A and B are shown apart, each in its own frame.
Chain A
Amino acid sequence: QSALTQPPSASGSPGQSVTISCTGTSSDVGYYNYVSWYQQHPGKAPKVIIYDVTKRPSGVPDRFSGSKSGNTASLTVSGLQTEDEADYYCNSYAGNNNYVIFGGGTKLTVL
Chain B
Amino acid sequence: QAQLQESGPGLVKPSETLSLTCIVSNYSIDLGYYWGWIRQPPGKGLEWIGHIYHTGNTYYNPSLKSRVTMSINTSKNQFSLKLSSVTAADTATYYCARVTSTVRVDPWGQGTLVSVSS
A51 near B104 with CB under 8 A, answer yes
Q: A1-B62, A97-B62, A99-B59 are in contact. Are A48 and B104 (CB under 8 A)?
A: yes
A7 to B53 CA separation, bound complex (whole angstroms) = 33
Residues in A with CB closer than 8 Å to B109 are 45
Residue of A nearest to B108 (CB): A45
Partner of A46, one of B50, B100, B108: B108
Bitwise, A1-27 to B at CB < 8 A (1) or not (0) is: 101000000000000000000000000
Please tell me the number of chain A residues within 8 Å of chain B, measured between CB atoms: 26
Partner of A104, one of B45, B103, B108, B111: B45
Residues in A with CB closer than 8 Å to B50 are 99
Residues in A with CB closer than 8 Å to B62 are 1, 97-98
Q: Is B15's beta carbon under 8 Å from chain A?
A: no
8 Å CB interface, A53-102 against B: 57, 89, 91-93, 97-102
A52 to B103 CA separation, bound complex (whole angstroms) = 9
A100 to B104 CA separation, bound complex (whole angstroms) = 10
CB within 8 Å: A-B pair count:
67
Residue of A nearest to B106 (CB): A48
A102 to B46 CA separation, bound complex (whole angstroms) = 6
A101 near B48 with CB under 8 A, answer yes
Residue of B nearest to A53 (CB): B102
Interface centre among B36, B51, B105 (most CB of A within 10 A): B105
Partner of B51, one of A33, A52, A97, A100: A100
Residue of B nearest to A92 (CB): B103
Q: Is B16's beta carbon under 8 Å from chain A?
A: no
8 Å CB interface, B80-118 against A: 95, 99-100, 102-106, 108-111
Bitwise, B10-37 to A at CB < 8 A (1) or not (0) is: 0000000000000000000000000010
A100 near B108 with CB under 8 A, answer no
Interface residues, chain B, CB within 8 Å of chain A? Answer: 36, 38, 45-48, 50-51, 59, 61-63, 95, 99-100, 102-106, 108-111
